């Protein structure tokens, strides 16, 4: 009713409240502020049952808690043994949400069933998930050892990092001072298979283990997150390669969609028509209620309340749909992320919170990656 108060005349609001209270029986809460005490007590009780003696690894992603990339990754992390694996991931696909957060809306959190892990699904973005997890409001721990975001279905190379929800989840952890990794599989519709996610986990696990080991030793590079891009056929990789973020991007292609042909547009129009009928009926009922109240009023000078008619939106609406089309690039620098993928390598790109990676951060990350990858080769 708060929204209706902003949209409709005060007199009509009062009439509507009277009608709705009659329709709902003895509903004395119509138009009154909701008591948040029960909601607050419920949310404050949303805690986990972590073993505080184990270091925590937090997992999120962009595609949602049920995605295969996340499920296979969590299974592998649980198998590592001495870590408490916690999951806080979007309820639905938010893979191109970028670094967006949810404000002025309440998000919902529910337990998710993932073997061996304490998991929650959140009705927000990947950044919401990481921010909430690190806030102390959801989990009982104060800071995880590592945040891993992934594994995403599709490359996050180049400018795609700015759209990518999976990279944003790792970036939010970095902003909060927590080491983080983001992982993406260069999925191709005509080539890739679901088992490729298992292979992607298998080839990235040595680097994840090296990161956990060196974080515990205090020698993991600070002030940067590592974005790991896995080639389309993970098991055919030529090894890891330290790379730089490229300027590569897909071409945005906006297509006009007919309202008569597009199901969601028709569904939207149907909902609008239904809403219009409901408002019209409420308006008639409210008018009757107002008239009855005025008829019983004792004062001859009582101001007559006006009942406004709901305006119908007669503007012509157009519908558009965005798709990305891959384009070839002339930049063939072998140290760029997308080129390393094309050459058969797993690309590892250090990312900073600032737009430009500082030289000392680049040097520190390069030194660690070189050492870590040499250790991976010896395992």
Which tens digits make up the pLDDT trace of 244-253? 887 766 677 8
Look at residue 282 and tell me whether its pLDDT is greater than 60.
Answer: no
What 3-state DSSP class applies to 141?
A: coil
Give 378's pLDDT tier (boundaries 50, 70, 90).
low
pLDDT above 70 as % of the chain: 68
Give 50's pLDDT tier (boundaries 50, 70, 90).
low
Contact status, residue 248 vs residue 331, Cβ threshold 8 Å: yes
Among candidate residues 372, 269, 366, the one with its CA nearest the CA of residue 314: 269
CA 49/CA 111 separation, integer angstroms: 12
Give 59's pLDDT tier (boundaries 50, 70, 90).
very high
- Helix residue ranges, H only, the chain: 2-7, 10-23, 37-44, 68-79, 126-135, 160-163, 165-175, 196-217, 263-295, 337-342, 359-378
CA 187/CA 196 separation, integer angstroms: 9
Q: Is 279 left (phi over 0), alpha (psi -120 to 50) or beta?
A: alpha
Look at residue 107 and tell me whether its pLDDT is greater than 80.
Answer: yes
pTM: predicted TM-score of the whole model, two decimal places: 0.70
Q: What is the pLDDT of residues 288-346, one digit of tens each?
A: 555 555 555 544 444 444 445 556 778 888 899 888 777 666 667 788 988 999 999 99
Domain boundaries, the chain: 52-254+326-378
Q: How many CA atoms lie within 13 A of 308 on its CB side?
A: 13
The architecture in CATH of the region 52-254+326-378 reads 3-Layer(aba) Sandwich (3.40)
Q: Is 158 left (phi over 0), alpha (psi -120 to 50) or beta?
A: left
Weakest mean pLDDT among 25-34, 94-103, 167-176, 362-371: 25-34
DSSP string, 44-70: HT------TTSPEEEEE-SS-TT-HHH
Number of helices (H), then strands (E), in the chain: 11, 11
**pLDDT for position 180:** 97
**pLDDT for position 179:** 96
**pLDDT for position 298:** 47
**pLDDT for position 299:** 46
**pLDDT for position 41:** 41
What 3-state DSSP class applies to 320?
A: strand
**pLDDT for position 96:** 82
**pLDDT for position 261:** 61
Q: If you average pLDDT over residues 176-203, what whole number do you get?
A: 94
Q: Say which residue, 42 or 131, is predicted with more confidence.
A: 131
Q: If you average pLDDT over residues 180-197, what whole number do you get?
A: 93
CA 155/CA 157 separation, integer angstroms: 6
CA 324/CA 172 separation, integer angstroms: 25
Q: If you average pLDDT over residues 218-238, what whole number do you get?
A: 93
- To which residue do tokens 């250090």 refer? 350
CA 84/CA 225 separation, integer angstroms: 21
Look at residue 64 and tell me whether its pLDDT is greater than 90.
Answer: yes
Look at residue 143 and tell me whether its pLDDT is greater than 90.
Answer: yes
Give the number of other Cβ atoms within 10 Å of residue 189's Cβ. Answer: 6
């Amino acid at each position: 009713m708060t929204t209706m108060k902003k949209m409709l005349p005060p007199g009509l609001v009062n009439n509507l409240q009277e009608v709705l209270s009659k329709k709902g029986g003895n509903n004395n809460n119509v138009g009154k502020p909701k008591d948040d005490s029960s909601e607050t007590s419920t949310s404050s009780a949303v805690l986990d049952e972590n073993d505080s003696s184990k270091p925590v690894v937090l997992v999120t992603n962009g595609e949602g808690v049920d995605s295969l990339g996340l499920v296979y990754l969590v299974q592998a992390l649980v198998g590592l043994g001495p870590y408490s694996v916690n999951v806080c991931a979007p309820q639905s696909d938010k893979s191109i949400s970028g670094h967006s957060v949810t404000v002025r809306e309440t998000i919902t959190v529910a337990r998710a069933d993932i073997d061996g892990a304490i998991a929650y699904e959140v009705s927000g973005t990947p950044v919401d998930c990481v921010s909430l997890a690190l806030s102390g409001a959801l989990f009982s721990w104060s800071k995880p050892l590592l945040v891993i975001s992934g594994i995403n279905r599709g490359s996050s190379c180049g400018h795609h990092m700015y759209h990518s929800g999976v990279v944003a989840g790792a970036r939010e952890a970095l902003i909060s001072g927590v080491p983080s990794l983001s992982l993406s599989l260069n999925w191709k519709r005509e080539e890739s298979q679901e088992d490729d996610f298992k292979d992607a986990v298998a080839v990235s696990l040595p680097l994840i283990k090296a990161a956990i080991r060196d974080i515990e030793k205090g020698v993991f590079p600070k002030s940067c997150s590592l974005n790991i891009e896995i080639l389309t056929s993970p098991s055919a990789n030529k090894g890891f390669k330290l790379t730089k973020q490229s300027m590569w991007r897909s071409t945005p292609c906006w297509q006009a969609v007919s309202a008569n042909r597009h199901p969601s547009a028709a569904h939207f129009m149907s909902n609008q028509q239904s809403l219009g009928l409901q408002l019209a009926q409420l308006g008639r009922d409210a008018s009757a209620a107002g008239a009855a109240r005025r008829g019983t009023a004792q004062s001859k000078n009582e101001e007559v309340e006006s009942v406004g008619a709901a305006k119908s939106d007669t503007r012509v609406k157009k519908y558009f749909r965005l798709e990305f089309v891959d384009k070839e690039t002339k930049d063939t620098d072998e140290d760029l992320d997308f080129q390393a993928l094309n050459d058969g390598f797993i690309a590892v790109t250090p990312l900073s919170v600032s737009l430009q990676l500082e030289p000392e951060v680049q040097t520190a990350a390069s030194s660690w990656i070189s050492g870590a990858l040499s250790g991976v080769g010896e395992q």
